[in-house]
Amino acid sequence: MVDLVLPGLLGLEKSFRENIRNPIEKEGNQAQLTLLSQRLRPFMLRRTKAEVASDLPAKTEITRTVALDGAQRELYETLRLAMHEKVRETLKNRGIAQSSIIVLDALLKLRQACCDPALVKLPSARNVKTSAKRTLLLEMLTELLAEGRRVLIFSQFTEMLNLIEVDLKREKMRYTRLDGSTKDRKSPVEQFQSGTLSIMLISLKAGGAGLNLTAADTVIHYDPWWNPAVENQATDRAHRIGQDKPVFVYKLVCQDTVEDRIVAMQAQKAELAQAILSGGSSKTLQWDEAAIAHLFGG
């Protein structure tokens, strides 16, 4: 983005990667981080939401952890071991630069196993009928609706939204939905905003921006994503100008899985972004073979 607006400011891509990006992300080089921040600061006007909308009600973020057990845990561990071995072999033969597709596909399968085994398109997953996180979500919704809360549920997987719909219909919980296939975006928004329906299912990609959903006082992120800014944008559909109630944001995370490791990486990425914008310091953010091994629990 910087190169598009100010060509040449950060030099050639190869030089930037070798002299600035890698030293910051892989070595925690504070001198290069300070240099990058100083170079960008004259061209950046940054006003935080707290400065622009100081009268917004409080936003409380809560991580709800859930433990995988039984058949779902067995499936996850089987996948983890098989995928980690595949990734190690690929890294050995191709190197990290040529292995990204294999790594991301392996991580995707682990993330799907955390969400619901039904998402995993492998024979070994067909007989696993339980999902700890899906059970937790239904328990939470029962309590939240009894308290009169209005809830947004975000997931990156539209198929996961399909599965949640099955639960909502069975429990006779009325809802609306918005995803990439929704042609009439206005109707579900109006249904939710008017109070006709208390639950809205939203795909992260389709609903991460451009929506005003201030009728919501509760946001649930069903599955964590690498980039915390994307999740924050989704949360801001409810926590924005016009909101007059405190907003509670729940992140559902499976313990001792790739999900809690993603959350840890989110924190590092957010800290790095904050350091670049403010000129402060940052801990090391790495995406190398050691970081990949950590994601797989190795």
Q: What pLDDT was estimated at residue 275?
A: 52
Spatial separation of the C-alpha atoms in residues 204 and 206, rounded to whole Å: 6
Here the tokens at position 103 are 């790594």
Amino acid, single-letter form, for residue 70: G
Q: What pLDDT was estimated at residue 284?
A: 41
Amino acid, single-letter form, for residue 50: A
pLDDT tens track for 5-64:
567 667 677 777 777 777 776 666 777 777 777 666 666 655 544 444 557 899 999 999
Q: Which residue has the higher pLDDT, 278 or 6?
A: 6
| Phi and psi, residue 180, nearest 5° | -65, -20
Asked whether the CA dihedral 141, 241, 154, 105 is positive or negative, the reply is: negative
Q: Give the residue from 182, 179, 240 showing the smallest Cα distance to 215.
A: 240
Q: Is 175 helix (H, G, I), strand (E, B) or coil?
A: strand
Least reliable range by pLDDT among 19-23, 38-42, 182-186, 280-284:
280-284
Q: Give the residue from 150, 164, 166, 134 showing the smallest Cα distance to 247.
A: 150
User: Where do the structural domains in the chain lie, given as residue ranges?
Assistant: 1-45, 55-66+129-254
Q: Which CATH number fits domain 55-66+129-254: 1.25.40.340, 3.40.30.10, 3.40.50.300, 3.60.15.10?
A: 3.40.50.300
